[in-house]
Amino acid sequence: MAPVYLHQYELATRWRMSPRTLERWRWRKQGPSYIKLGGKVVYALQDVEAYERGRRAETHASILGHWR
């Protein structure tokens, strides 16, 4: 199966954030990995999903740390 890519605006919509936030994250070397194809930035769906899983685990751990 061919990899699926999301454009910046698609990812911003998925996460309900401004595309400019993703631009800022790239400049600061934050957020999921990205690829430049033909001068456009795209995000591999598998990288986006891995980043989401990582954030969920980080959030969960930080919440439990406060309750113990």
Average pLDDT, the chain: 88
What span, in angstroms and rounded, lies between the C-alpha atoms of 68 and 2? 45
**pLDDT tier, 67 (very low <50, low <70, confident <90, very high otherwise):** low
- Local structure of residue 3 (DSSP, 8 states): P
- Local structure of residue 1 (DSSP, 8 states): -
Query: How many Cβ atoms sit within 10 Å of the Cβ of residue 41?
Result: 17
Q: Is pTM beyond 0.75 here? A: yes
What span, in angstroms and rounded, lies between the C-alpha atoms of 31 and 12? 12
Checking if the pLDDT of 19 tops 60, the result is: yes
**Alpha-carbon dihedral 30, 51, 41, 19, rounded to 10 degrees:** -70
